[in-house]
Amino acid sequence: MAKGYYISKVVAIVGILFTIAALATIIALSVLYANEKDKNNNVPNLPETTTPTSSENTKGPTSAPSNDPWTKDRLPKTLTPYHYDIRLKPVLKKNDQGLYVFYGKSEAFFTCVAATNLVIIHSKNLNFNTSPKAFLKDSAGNNLAVSKIDEVPQKQYLVVHAANNLEDNKNYSLYTEFVGELADDLAGFYRSEYKEDNETKIIATTQMQAPDARKAFPCFDEPAMKATFNITLVHKPDYVALSNMNPISQNNITEDEEPWTETVFAKTVKMSTYLVAFIVSQFESIGDPGNSTTTGVQIWGRKKAIKDEGQGDYALSITKDILEFFEEHYSIPYPLPKSDQVALPDFNAGAMENWGLVTYRETALLYDPAESSIGNKERVASVIAHELAHQWFGNLVTIRWWNDLWLNEGFASYVQYLGADRAEPTWNIKDLIVLDDVHRVMAVDALASSHPLTSKEEEVNTPAEISQLFDSITYSKGASVIRMLSDFISEDLFKKGLATYLKAFEYNTAVYSDLWTHLQLAVEAAEPSLNLPLPISWIMDTWVLQMGFPVVRIDTGSGFVSQNHFLLDPNSTVNRPSQFNYAWIVPISFSKSGSNENFWLQYPGDVNPNFKTSGNEWLLANINVTGYYRVNYDDGNWNKLISQLESDHLNIPVINRAQIIDDAFNLARAKYINTTRALDTTRYLSNDTEYMPWQAALNSLSFFTQMFDRSEVYGPMRDYLKKQVIPLYQHFERETKNFTEQLESLTDQYNTINSVSTACNYGFPDCVVFAVKTFKGWMESNAIIHPNLRSTIYCTGIAEGGDAEWDFVLQKFTESSNAQESDKLRSALACSREPWVLNRLLEYSLNSSKIRRQDTVSTISSICNNVVGQSLAWDFVRAKWKTMLAQFGGSSFSFGNLIERVTRRFASDFELQELEQFKRDNQEVGFGTAAQALEQAIEKTKANIKWVTENKEPVLSWFKEETKA
């Protein structure tokens, strides 16, 4: 289907094809328009109406069993919660059975909106210890008669059958007492541990997203079921309790003959269950707790990190700024009285935007100038900005159901750059979205096994289906298309529409098209007026309803422009139909002779006379890569662009230098241009010292490394890269006075790191000698290494060294109390060239007393980056698959990433067979959240095999030619 529109390079026949194609697009659009009108007619502001199915089911279990509401993944719409009273007491020492548990009492208040005798509420792994298990009450607090109470673990429900129907429009409540395990599974209410002063300290903390609030207390655990929460935490007097809101009272009490403190928190605003959070710990804080007139901002973490080492100071210094930035950006004051940021030693995701109580991995919040690199600092600023962006977009206005997760995460992943830019205005961080999101996700979205941003509400039901949505398409493609939209309507109009959207849906939920509606209103009210070719929703539908993205081809001879669905493997089959037949409405910005213009490509092909060039004039499209597409040109224009790079690269903006390289390599992969043409774009790099083009080249060439580092191509390739990087290395060696100083700019610091790691990696002797000497100085006399260079120095020291070096780094890793330093040490351990050492590290990765569970995947990944380690890791994953699924299957452990990393180098028939065998062997146990990743791995392996066969010879001779003495 994707091929239906193939437009020949021969302009003569283009006219006919073009007409047919355009017609098809117009038909597609009018179908869409009809749907859109329909939607608009019955989508005024919520609230949801009830469905007749649920009341039919009140007939009870005798009717068709498959229709019983407790067999469904979604809650019936008969009950609407409005408040919870929750009291939780986590006990931070083992009980007689050797388990950590928490005790809870909860009352869920709800309104019946359609008569029913069933109360179905989520509950997972909770043991109800009263008889009966739950008490159903009327609004006066009187117990109502109940005929039976069932637990339905398959669907994570507690089902209460009332003896009589609950009545429409009346309020009820369900009271329960329960015990749950405080396991170290990183989900729901869980336990985290750390060592301080030789003592093991225990924390009770939460991660409710996606559906794990039900593991902490019975609740209507769907994002649209918003309610208020009164939370009370019971803890030892020397512990501190935190929750979404500020504490309003504390009482000392005695329970089980022991002293306890009861901390009562203010009633929350109306919010979703997945944003509820509470923590009991001995953490300490810095910052201002706030009062009735000021919003409190505090940073919490281990005492040593926060109080002794000042690792929270950087976060504190930027959080208030970022919060204020978003207040302006959204034109809505921060809705809560305080914002706590908490660094947790064990945390599955990077961070979680719990309203008022944001939780982070330590590496995403803590920063120590003596130990952390510039990259660590950027991550802290970005993650804080991302989570604070959600406090409005996500928390105040929430997606109605998880199928719209991409809007929530894509938006935050875009505006995090704006928030971080406020905190660090000299960084030019906004440019980096091109490398870190746009280019990165295009690599995934160019596969035939990709998927559209949107999914239908009814396609996302089970917890596993929800977990699977948290992928790079959701985050990075979401960010890329929202950035494109913001760019073509202007950030100013985007902000206007955003503000009215947030106001219209605050404390409520919305769907993505609601945002389009508000942006459209802003565009229509714009002065001076803005001319879009079509309504925003039409334009955006082509980007969010179909997977993938176009490659736009501009012919600068004829002015003809066409688009095709860009597939990394041109022979792959696209099975997923698209109502737009894989055509997009593309905003094309372009530059010619120093002037910038815009053009809307609305058809598979079109002609714009302004695309024509003459003489030496070149044309460059997708300026600053604000558009989510790749660009190809006629040969003549490619030659002119490459000559321009070689004669004076500064005439091409830095982001577009990165784009030319990234596009060229990908176009070559997809066979639009020759691989050697792509390699040609890197020849000028010996004269460029900028980070973005270098990083684009290193990313692109890492594929070459993966494909060829076990073959004869490797030698000449290494020589070429060495030749290119030596001038860069020497430039930074000079500028930084032998790497003793750091340059001012963020990207210069990044490229200093690139120059050292690339030079050492490809064996430039000066670099290796420098690294080994520096490592020795550290190992033997504790000489300080600048944090920016540590990863490279540690890795080179281990690769060049033996057991003593490895053991030394392992020892440092065990002792380190800085999470970022630990990460650097841990990944360096994977640089060993000894298989037995790498196998030992693989074993450690599944042993949580050696390596924290949150770091399992990244440890195995770093072993895969090592040419020696890759096959060991694959053997290991295959051997341990069942164990790992059993151990981590219930959590949001990223099996998908694991499969992606471990198969990255696959490029032979033998490896393909192994992969397919793996798929067959584990059909029964399944693949957890890795089902999609496995399909993608198979597709990629097939493409790699073909690519290597076709490209090995030309690539080898190109490298040989370039490195001829």
Ligand X SMILES: *[C@@H]1O[C@H](CO)[C@@H](O)[C@H](O)[C@H]1NC(C)=O
Residues known to be catalytic? 387
Binding of Zn ion by 641 (CB under 5 A): no
User: Which of Zn ion, ligand X, none interacts with 266 (beta carbon under 5 to 8 A by kind)?
Assistant: ligand X
Q: Which of 267, 596, 802, 883 binds ligand X (CB under 6 A)?
A: 267
CB atoms within 10 A of CB 303: 15
User: Which of Zn ion, ligand X, none interacts with 412 (beta carbon under 5 to 8 A by kind)?
Assistant: Zn ion
Binding of ligand X by 83 (CB under 6 A): yes
Minimum gap (Å) between residue 350 Cβ and Zn ion: 8
Using DSSP, state whether 206 is helix, strand or coil.
strand
Q: Which of 126, 225, 396, 412 binds Zn ion (CB under 5 A)?
A: 412
238 CB-contact burial (10 Å; exposed 0-12 / middle 13-18 / buried 19+) = exposed
Binding of ligand X by 866 (CB under 6 A): no
- Could you tell me which stretch among 1-9, 403-411, 848-856, 942-950 binds Zn ion (CB under 5 A)? 403-411
Do 326 and 306 form a contact (C-beta atoms < 8 A)? no
Sketch the per residue contact string, 207 through 236, with ligand X: x for CB under 6 A, - otherwise.
Answer: -----------------------x------
- 292 vs 781, beta carbon nearer ligand X: 292
The DSSP symbol for 271 reads B
- 20 vs 248, beta carbon nearer ligand X: 248
- Could you tell me which stretch among 14-22, 205-213, 288-296, 411-419 binds ligand X (CB under 6 A)? 288-296
Minimum gap (Å) between residue 469 Cβ and Zn ion: 12
Q: CA-to-CA distance for 442 and 453, rounded, in angstroms?
A: 13
Q: CA-to-CA distance for 540 and 538, rounded, in angstroms?
A: 6
Q: CA-to-CA distance for 545 and 583, rounded, in angstroms?
A: 11
User: Which of ligand X, Zn ion, none interacts with 336 (beta carbon under 5 to 8 A by kind)?
Assistant: none
Amino acid identity, residue 340? D
Binding of ligand X by 111 (CB under 6 A): no
Binding of ligand X by 256 (CB under 6 A): no
Minimum gap (Å) between residue 174 Cβ and ligand X: 14
- Could you tell me which stretch among 292-300, 336-344, 871-879, 918-926 binds ligand X (CB under 6 A)? 292-300
Structure tokens at 236: 């030892």
- Could you tell me which stretch among 286-294, 419-427, 512-520, 762-770 binds ligand X (CB under 6 A)? 286-294
| Secondary structure (H, E, C), 725-787 | HHHHHHHHHHHCCCCCCCCCCHHHHHHHHHHHHHHHHCCCHHHHHHHHHHHHHHHHHCCCCCH
- 230 vs 730, beta carbon nearer ligand X: 230
- 29 vs 412, beta carbon nearer Zn ion: 412
User: Which of ligand X, Zn ion, none interacts with 571 (beta carbon under 5 to 8 A by kind)?
Assistant: none
Do 344 and 278 form a contact (C-beta atoms < 8 A)? no
Q: Is 390 annotated as a binding residue?
A: yes
Binding of ligand X by 261 (CB under 6 A): yes
CB atoms within 10 A of CB 97: 7
Do 912 and 942 form a contact (C-beta atoms < 8 A)? yes
What is the bridge-based pairing of β-strands 126-128 and 595-601? Answer: unpaired
Q: Which of 66, 142, 292, 923 binds ligand X (CB under 6 A)?
A: 292
Q: Which of 198, 595, 781, 782 binds ligand X (CB under 6 A)?
A: 198
Q: CA-to-CA distance for 302 and 281, rounded, in angstroms?
A: 9
Q: Is 451 annotated as a binding residue?
A: no
Binding of ligand X by 141 (CB under 6 A): no
Q: Which strand (E) or helix (H) includes residue 100?
A: none
Minimum gap (Å) between residue 258 Cβ and ligand X: 12
Structure tokens at 544: 């969010």
Using DSSP, state whether 621 is helix, strand or coil.
strand
Binding of ligand X by 195 (CB under 6 A): no
Nearest residue to 788 via CA among 818, 728, 748, 817 = 748
Binding of ligand X by 237 (CB under 6 A): yes
Q: Is 409 annotated as a binding residue?
A: yes
CB atoms within 10 A of CB 146: 18
Please, what is the Cα angle at 363 between 319 and 932, to 5 degrees?
110
Using DSSP, state whether 86 is helix, strand or coil.
strand
User: Which of Zn ion, ligand X, none interacts with 288 (beta carbon under 5 to 8 A by kind)?
Assistant: ligand X
Binding site for ligand X (CB under 6 A): 83, 197-198, 230, 237, 248, 250-252, 261, 266-267, 288, 291-294
Annotated binding-site residues for Zn(2+) read 386, 390, 409
Binding site for Zn ion (CB under 5 A): 409, 412
